A and B are shown apart, each in its own frame.
Chain A
Amino acid sequence: MNSLPVNSVANSTVDSHNTADAVTMSGICKKFGQVVACDEVDIKLQHGKIHGILGENGAGKSTLMKILIGLHAPDAGEIRVNGTTQRFRDPGDARKLGISMVHQHFSLVPALKVWENVVLGDHQKVYLSSFWKVPQRALENALAGFRSNEKRTRQQISEISARYGLNVDPDTRVRDLPVGVRQRVEIIKCLRYDPKIMILDEPTSVLSPAESERIFSVLRQVVEEENRCLALVSHKLNEILAATDDITIMRQGKVVEHLATSEATAPMLARAMVGREVSLTLSLADIGGNTKKISGQEKIDSTGTKPALRIHNATVTDKNGHHLLDSLSLEVQKGEIVAVAGVEGNGQTALDHLLSSLLKLDSGYVEVDGEEVPTGVPGAFVKAGVGVISEDRHDTGCIMDMSLSENLYLSHPKDAVSGYAMMNRTAMSNKSTELINDYQITASGPDAPMWSLSGGNQQRVVLARELSHKPKVLLASQPTRGLDVGAVEYFLEQLRQAAKNGIAVLLVSHELEEILELAHRIVVIYNGKIVGEMSRQDIDMQRLGMLMGGISEAEISPVSDT
């Protein structure tokens, strides 16, 4: 065993379990009302291995993991940890056995420093336990604990950080950290308990490819050298293929397949996951510069016509003097799909906000169809014919407490008005039913509240709304984030169709596969600036990668000559 300086929880003899199963869950069932989240699920996790749990949204992966950490009690089934049957009343029970989870959404307090965030969980424990036992000394204990913890925790964080090359400074405020580093803080939080069994729920959903790779190399080290057991929940095929040893595939609450990663291929996993063939136009192996599919796309002739969207020298500085956009210029022609590639946090969000009328430019301008559109003025871009699938649905995409039908009319309520200046609810319902069918939205009907829809269907509602108003320009910002393979394919097809119908499509995405599949032209964004451009015909993956990593064109040319 390693010698982590930890307030050692359940520091049992791990070595003796080298070959034994760390966790065996058998016959697990869990229902929420009428919804069956887990149905007779069996799964085995082993020490020293990374076990991938793959499935679409709603397949029951997260529920299963929540059962394992004691957040939900199963309706039926048995959980064995290191060979002994366990019954968890709460997450504390699971933690005592060394089971720890890194959740999909960050649970960090932005205003606190890294080390403060790391001890937050402890405090509560100190506080509560001493509160029941010795009430009069509770506060005293908590304060004393806090002070003595400070130095130790910082040291601990530095140590963990150094050992795994995580590079986290315990004294930085979390709000100043980029998402990639925040994810590493979450992992430190988890590692500090010296868990025997770690669960990661979609750890890379907000990370760039480079960041993910880094996280996975750390995890590989953690698992192999220290013989821990790790469950990785994901719906990214390549991630599962690259990072795991064994795979369990779930669909609609059931396990459909167990297999070793060495035997798995991407198409096979995709098939098992969605239950049908998915045409992954570019599988993993193709990304290394293969251009055979790309030649199939026609080139858009842009000579002589004025662009549908033109952003010229857009510059915005936030109050800390940081450039959100730095003389960013780009043009999109009618019927063209231009993809903005880049590592997250390089101005993509600002671009989204700019075209959502939420951001006012310090200098530069935006033209739609040759007409300048005022920036930061409510509704200006909607009026100019710019549709936006925003990167955060909850922020500017839809309203969860309104009905599906109302959500379809958010941007153009006047369309629902007929006679006497009243909104015609029947007409709204009929039109909505039509859109529900056209866009294959799964919902109980036009009156279904938005929150009752799954994420993928909410996204379809947004797409349906934006396209049904026949925009001139469509900004699709991370349109497929968090969607399953089938839905991704559907969305990409819709965007392709939109371009065919003459809409200028601006696609902002962190998923290179998506960009390579769709774009007529790729521009690379770095630090709020467009740093490079390449047309579909001459995509050079190496160059693309370097541009995204912040290496300028000038630096690249000599490199590629050698």
Chain B
Amino acid sequence: MNQLSSRLQARWTWERWSYIAGLYLASIFAALILSALLVWATDGSWQDVFSAFIDGSLRNPGRWGLTIGYATPLLLVALGTIVAVRGGLINIGQEGQLYIGAAFCTYVVLRLGGPGPIVLIVALLAGATAGAIWAGIAAWLKYWRRVPEVLTTLLLVTVAAQLVGYGLKTTTLLLDRSPEHGNRNQISEQLAPGVRLPRVEIFGNSFPLSAFVALVMAVGLAVWLSRTTGGFRLTILGQNERLAQRVGISAPKYGTMALLASGAFAGLAGAMMLTGGDFGNYRLAPGFSGFFGWEGLLVALVARNHPLVAIPMAFVFGALRTGGGFLSATGVEREIANVTQALLVLALLVPAAVLYLQERRRQIATVEART
């Protein structure tokens, strides 16, 4: 928290907290009003829409468990994004890293024999490693040939999709060998029960154990960034590469590590989605990554690159997904439902942007007044 507060300069006073809370409330309220108007204008019932939304994300049996299940990969991807951003690097290829991670995890689980828990752990590590390697390609190109990582990470998403698609068509790689899925030509075998992530059952809701792993990682990352020399050095690199070089922080070394870590988070997210059970029923199929890699970027953005803030934001984005799923049942046009969802995402982005701009403006005013 120290770093964040020093960056915002203003102390975390009661006034500041209520100001920020007020900003978020006003913004969300505005989005809700706009959505209601939109639904009303297209002959829908906005009461139904909002109630469906709450039903879908929280109220109905088992729904908030699912929301947590959705929030988990979002949080992991966001953490990866934050690591890269702190080092001054922009990794926007999480969608691909996540997909590759899931694919390698699938391969290891299906091909490696042995006691379930060990296979599971090895498979999760394989997923993280694959994600790291995928981001590592971008790091290698950046420091070997100065190709901007923004481009390479993005373009590698397409490559990842094609590669996994090929794997899913090939029996020796990922394609299901049993005849019962003969009608679908791109799908993996289902994971055996012994190699699935245990699920936590509370009050009729269930979510995979990975939620706790992500939570611990978020806290760990926050501590690492603000309390260790490693995190401090990474931040220095992100702020000023030349100064970093002077004080002994090698950009290729730290930058590569940051991108590898970033990819590993995404790869792990993919592996945990697969073994967790909320996605694809323990099977890998095209489209498995389901835009979680992209949405994780938004979570990091809304959280203003702070790991702890990313936790509630990931939950909110998860809720937007699960709640959105119920909207179609209200008879509202699908497009309108999508716009409503998008408005809520915007409502979360606006306060973050406003806070950032205000801070910059104050900074400029202070500096200007001095000269």
- Residues of A whose CB lies within 8 Å of any CB of B are 32-33, 35, 37, 57-58, 62-63, 356-358, 378-383, 388, 390, 395-399, 401-403, 406, 409-411, 413-414, 416-417, 421-423, 425, 447-449, 451-452, 454-455
Contacts and interface: CB of A to CB of B under 8 A. Distances in A.
B227 A425 contact: yes
Interface residues of B, number: 35
A62 B371 contact: yes
B243 A397 contact: yes
Contacts of A378: 244-251
Nearest to B252: A378
Contact of A410 (B223, B243, B368, B371): B243
Given A378-B245, A449-B6, A32 B365 contact: yes
Contacts of A449: 6-7, 9, 363
A58 B371 contact: yes
A452 B371 contact: no
Interface of B: 2-3, 5-7, 9, 223, 227-229, 232-233, 235-236, 239-240, 242-251, 362-363, 365-371
Nearest to B242: A396
Given A32-B369, A35-B370, A422 B246 contact: no
A423 B229 contact: yes
Contacts of B369: 32-33, 35, 37, 63
A411 B236 CA distance: 10
A455 B242 CA distance: 20
A59 to B, nearest CB: 10
Of B6, B7, B247, most buried by chain A (CB within 10 Å of CB) is B247
B5 A57 contact: no
A186 to B, nearest CB: 18
Given A399-B243, A421-B228, A63 B9 contact: no
Contacts of B6: 402-403, 406, 447-449
B249 A396 contact: no
A373 to B, nearest CB: 12
A358 B235 contact: no
B370 A379 contact: no
Of B3, B7, B240, most buried by chain A (CB within 10 Å of CB) is B240
Given A32-B365, A399-B243, A409-B232, A425 B2 contact: yes
Given A33-B366, A449-B7, A413 B242 contact: no
Cβ-closest 7 pairs across A and B: A379-B248, A32-B369, A403-B6, A35-B369, A378-B250, A413-B229, A411-B247
Given A378-B246, A378-B249, A396-B240, 19 more contacts: A32-B368, A32-B369, A33-B366, A62-B371, A357-B248, A358-B242, A378-B245, A379-B246, A380-B248, A382-B248, A383-B248, A397-B243, A398-B243, A399-B239, A401-B239, A402-B6, A402-B235, A403-B3, A448-B9
B366 A396 contact: no
A452 B365 CA distance: 10
A423 B232 CA distance: 9
The secondary-structure label for the interface of chain B is helix
Contacts of B240: 395-396, 399
Nearest to B240: A399
A483 to B, nearest CB: 13
A35 B249 CA distance: 38
B233 to A, nearest CB: 6
Contact of B371 (A63, A358, A423): A63
A276 to B, nearest CB: 21
A401 B243 CA distance: 13
Contact of B370 (A356, A398, A411, A454): A454
A323 to B, nearest CB: 22
B236 A410 contact: yes
Nearest to B11: A447
A455 B366 CA distance: 12
Nearest to A453: B370
29 contacts: A32-B368, A33-B365, A35-B366, A57-B370, A58-B370, A58-B371, A378-B247, A378-B251, A379-B246, A379-B249, A380-B248, A381-B246, A382-B247, A395-B240, A396-B240, A397-B243, A399-B239, A399-B240, A399-B243, A402-B239, A403-B6, A416-B229, A417-B229, A422-B228, A447-B2, A448-B6, A451-B367, A452-B363, A454-B370
A378 B366 CA distance: 34
Contacts of A451: 363, 366-367
A513 B363 CA distance: 35
Given A32-B366, A396-B243, A402-B239, A413 B232 contact: yes
B244 A413 contact: no
Contact of A399 (B228, B236, B368): B236
A388 B242 CA distance: 13
Contacts of B229: 413-414, 416-417, 421, 423
Contacts of A379: 245-250
B326 to A, nearest CB: 43
Nearest to B371: A62
B370 A382 contact: no
Contact of A356 (B7, B227, B246, B367): B246
A419 B246 CA distance: 27
A365 B228 CA distance: 35
Contacts of B232: 406, 409, 413, 423
A388 B367 contact: no
Given A37-B369, A379-B246, A452 B9 contact: yes
Of A57, A390, A414, A447, most buried by chain B (CB within 10 Å of CB) is A447
A109 B366 CA distance: 27
Contacts of A416: 229
B7 A401 contact: yes
Contacts of A454: 370
A396 B239 CA distance: 11
A357 B246 contact: yes
A33 B368 CA distance: 11
B164 to A, nearest CB: 38
Contacts of A58: 370-371
A508 B54 CA distance: 67
Given A33-B369, A35-B369, A452-B366, A422 B227 contact: yes
B277 to A, nearest CB: 37
A447 B5 contact: yes
Nearest to A71: B368
A414 B228 CA distance: 9
Contacts of A62: 371
A57 to B, nearest CB: 7
Contacts of B246: 356-358, 378-379, 381-382, 388, 390, 396, 411
Contacts of A425: 2, 227
Contact of A395 (B223, B233, B242): B242
Contacts of A409: 232
Contacts of A399: 236, 239-240, 243
Contacts of B362: 33
Nearest to A414: B229
Contacts of A357: 245-246, 248
B271 to A, nearest CB: 29
A401 B248 CA distance: 20
Nearest to A30: B369
Contacts of A63: 369, 371
Nearest to A397: B243
B220 to A, nearest CB: 12
Nearest to A452: B366
Nearest to B247: A411
B233 A413 contact: yes
A104 B363 CA distance: 20
A63 B363 CA distance: 17
A448 B8 CA distance: 10
Contacts of B9: 448-449, 452
A32 B362 CA distance: 10
A399 B237 CA distance: 10
Contacts of B2: 425, 447
A197 B314 CA distance: 59
Contacts of B227: 422-423, 425
